[in-house]
Chains A and B, each alone.
Chain A
Amino acid sequence: MGAGGEPHALHICGKGGLTGSTRIMPQDLDRSEPAELSYREAVREAIRDALIRDQRVFLMGEDVGRYGGCYAVSKGLLSEFGAERIRDTPLSESAFTGAGIGAAIAGMRPIVELMTVNFSLLALDQILNTAATIRHMSGNQFDVPLVIRMATGAGRQLAAQHSHSLEGWYAHIPGIKVLAPATIEDARGMLWTALEDPDPVLIFENIMLYNMMGKLAADAGPVEIAKAAVRREGRDISLITYGGSLWKTLEAASLLAAENIEAEVIDLRSLRPLDDATIMASVSKTRRAIIVDEGWRSGSISAEICARIVEQTFWEIDAPLGRVCSEEVPVPYPRHLEQAAIPQAAKIVAAAKVAVGRA
């Protein structure tokens, strides 16, 4: 498979439903023109690319094969790569996640897909007690080059057992890395870099991003995974966020600009490790910061970022730090309540205006 093989079909999924799709073809990885594609397709391209590059790579998870993935990410991969490398698993999150760990230790490069972050809790023993510990606990005898991908976030009215944002919890754990690709480029580029990493990497894909369309350069490929990115420059306040909230935060920054408040927007990209240097450089410049996090507020990654800002730039900040987080409730089903529970541009604007004294 690869260059010279049959054209590889791409599948574009429409906006209706989780897996509804229309098909356009043929289109190949080997493009010469920038392509307009969805975040979902960018993730799929990343998986295909990894499968083509490295025979040790395989994808395993619930419904990744015949069904095409709960969020249609892996649609078409089974027919292209076969059932050995696109492995449908039983609903046994702990066993197949642990199997990914074992296979990685034995030299393979597994991509484990956990359908949603809520289900990942069934595999938490393997992630925390094995994947994250085995290198340190064994005195550096074993690599665990495993990637675990999962969907996260609210917005599809999937209620209180499918909608949470627990990536901040995972960022609490030493021994793993936690990524949150928010852009098409990162959806396309983070996976390969994560697979090359000798330690376990968790990648959180916000469900509201899968249908997002964007242009991807013809030569788009792996990206570095250790640094935060400044997605919009500004002098008045730093808006620090990641994942699905990036786009709401950018929207908020536009609204603020209309009121002559120039917000700088930081996309964390990696929640563990956190790129303190980029955060502090921005806050030192703007002297004000709001953290936008779809996780709950108490004991969250947003709390960690606030603490670090206070620890590292206390004498440079001019206003209390602010946070826009999810309300501390199980995410409810009806749309108006669901939307009220998670960060929105209006809340970010309001918090920013308080911080700059324009409320």
Chain B
Amino acid sequence: MSDKPHLSRAHELDLLKHMIRIRRFEDKCAELYTQEKIRGFLHLYDGEEAVAVGVIPILEKADRIVSTYREHGHALVRGVPMKAALAEMYGKQEGCSGGRGGSMHLFDRATNFYGGNAIVAGGLPLAVGLALADHMRAENIVTACFFGDGAVAEGEFHESLNLAALWALPVLFVCENNLYAMGTALALSESETDLHLKAASYRIASEPVDGMDVVAVEAAARRAVRAIRETGKPYFLECRTYRFRAHSMFDAQLYRTKAEGEAWRQKGPIVRFRGWLESNRMIHPEELARIEAEVAAEINEAIAFAEAGTWEPAENLTRFTYAERAA
């Protein structure tokens, strides 16, 4: 595998489409939230799309993904069907978790997508364990574990990095550093804000990446995954990004200025990549229109699917607290 993304036009358009697909889907989710179709917490990935889109497509089918409560983008890029993701957010039993998890708990065994973990840093030990199983069976499988900068303050982050390094486990740690743990700025919660250095202190190969540049993320992810497959050892990417929207739908964003957000929006991953494609005449307006139309159609289909979905009968409430079969 080459570290350099092969920037064929088809590949470029794929990257752009993945990002637009996440963005438009989540814009619609926000709208559906205000219509009370989606309830609970809803955490949008708006601004951070280049991370999921740069990393996930280079993984193999057998590889595994552990994510956070801001995971719609990861799920979509991984191949969790949009309609199953949206039905899950509606709470319908046709959802990818049977409607039981909601926005924060998208699971999909078929694509090795292990959630959707709403405990900050709670997914890291799980990722280490998945990788431990693969390591013990000598299988060449990578577990990609996504988490935010807030996770870095948790003990589970440090315990997990140490264990992965100590036991040489094939984990790709992807820190989505969007500069805020909910409303607390990184500089207010970390004495060392160069987060990749923390991984280096555990002797994990690590690098900071411009998380707003999908091509840079993909290049770094290729380097990382190649290294993991060759050495079996973990790798750490600190993707520096920014969350354009509120933390969740209940956030007045008192902790940052509008100007700061505006400045970041100028270098947003979609604006930037599309602008680059346009200025290099690598995308025709018709192609962009086609992408938008395809995405819009898929979203409409997903909404129709979720609307037509059914509620799990309340008498099933306690099912699957435990397995219903013998081992």
Chain A residues with a Cβ under 8 A of chain B: 58, 84, 87, 89-90, 92, 94-108, 110, 125-126, 129-130, 134-143, 145, 174-175, 177, 196-199
A139 with B125: in contact, given A102-B131, A134-B115, A197-B327 (CB under 8 Å)?
no
Q: Chain B residues near A106: list those with CB within 8 A.
A: 64, 129-130, 133-134
User: What are 28 A-B contacts defined by CB distance under 8 Å?
Assistant: A90-B163, A92-B162, A95-B162, A95-B163, A96-B159, A98-B125, A99-B125, A99-B128, A99-B163, A108-B137, A110-B129, A126-B126, A129-B119, A134-B107, A136-B100, A137-B100, A137-B101, A137-B115, A138-B98, A138-B100, A138-B107, A139-B99, A139-B101, A139-B107, A177-B322, A196-B327, A198-B322, A198-B325
A95 with B109: in contact, given A84-B136, A130-B122, A139-B97 (CB under 8 Å)?
no
> Is the Cβ of B129 less than 8 Å from the Cβ of A142?
no
B70 interface residue (CB < 8 Å to A): no
A140 with B98: in contact, given A95-B160, A103-B130, A106-B130 (CB under 8 Å)?
yes
B127 interface residue (CB < 8 Å to A): yes
B26 interface residue (CB < 8 Å to A): no
**A246 vs B319: C-alpha distance when bound (angstroms):** 33
B2 interface residue (CB < 8 Å to A): no
> Is the Cβ of B117 less than 8 Å from the Cβ of A130?
yes
Count of B residues near A, CB < 8 Å? 47
Q: Chain B residues near A143: list those with CB within 8 A.
A: 323
A145 with B107: in contact, given A96-B163, A130-B126, A136-B321 (CB under 8 Å)?
no
> Is the Cβ of B163 less than 8 Å from the Cβ of A137?
no
The minimal Cβ–Cβ distance linking A30 to chain B, given in whole angstroms, is 25
- Which of A89, A100, A103, A137 has the most B CB atoms < 10 Å from its CB? A137
B297 interface residue (CB < 8 Å to A): no
> Is the Cβ of B107 less than 8 Å from the Cβ of A108?
no
**A143 vs B327: C-alpha distance when bound (angstroms):** 10
**A90 vs B120: C-alpha distance when bound (angstroms):** 21
The minimal Cβ–Cβ distance linking B94 to chain A, given in whole angstroms, is 10
B21 interface residue (CB < 8 Å to A): no
Q: Chain A residues near B298: list those with CB within 8 A.
A: none
Can you name 20 extra interface pairs (CB under 8 A) apart from A125-B119, A139-B98? Answer: A87-B167, A90-B163, A95-B124, A102-B128, A103-B132, A103-B136, A106-B130, A108-B133, A125-B122, A125-B156, A126-B125, A130-B117, A130-B126, A137-B97, A138-B100, A143-B323, A175-B321, A175-B322, A197-B327, A199-B323
Contact of A139 among B100, B132, B323, B324 (CB under 8 A): B100
A-B pair number, CB within 8 angstroms = 150
**A97 vs B126: C-alpha distance when bound (angstroms):** 9
> Is the Cβ of B97 less than 8 Å from the Cβ of A138?
yes
8 A-B pairs closest in CB distance: A102-B129, A98-B125, A139-B98, A95-B159, A106-B133, A92-B159, A99-B129, A138-B107
Q: Chain B residues near A177: list those with CB within 8 A.
A: 322
Chain B residue at smallest Cβ distance from A142: B109
Chain B residues with a Cβ under 8 A of chain A: 64, 93, 95-101, 105, 107-109, 114-115, 117, 119, 122, 124-134, 136-137, 155-156, 159-160, 162-163, 166-167, 319-325, 327
Q: Chain A residues near B320: list those with CB within 8 A.
A: 135-136, 139-140
Q: Chain A residues near B105: list those with CB within 8 A.
A: 137-138
Contact of B126 among A101, A107, A108 (CB under 8 A): A101
A97 with B125: in contact, given A103-B130, A105-B130 (CB under 8 Å)?
yes
**A89 vs B128: C-alpha distance when bound (angstroms):** 13
**A135 vs B319: C-alpha distance when bound (angstroms):** 10
Contact of A92 among B115, B163, B322 (CB under 8 A): B163
- Which of A84, A105, A106, A140 has the most B CB atoms < 10 Å from its CB? A106
> Is the Cβ of A102 less than 8 Å from the Cβ of B97?
no
The minimal Cβ–Cβ distance linking B173 to chain A, given in whole angstroms, is 13
The minimal Cβ–Cβ distance linking B92 to chain A, given in whole angstroms, is 11
**A135 vs B167: C-alpha distance when bound (angstroms):** 28
Contact of A104 among B95, B129, B319, B322 (CB under 8 A): B129
The minimal Cβ–Cβ distance linking A113 to chain B, given in whole angstroms, is 15
> Is the Cβ of B132 less than 8 Å from the Cβ of A98?
no
A138 with B125: in contact, given A94-B155, A95-B162, A145-B327 (CB under 8 Å)?
no
> Is the Cβ of A135 less than 8 Å from the Cβ of B323?
yes
**A126 vs B136: C-alpha distance when bound (angstroms):** 21
**A97 vs B129: C-alpha distance when bound (angstroms):** 9
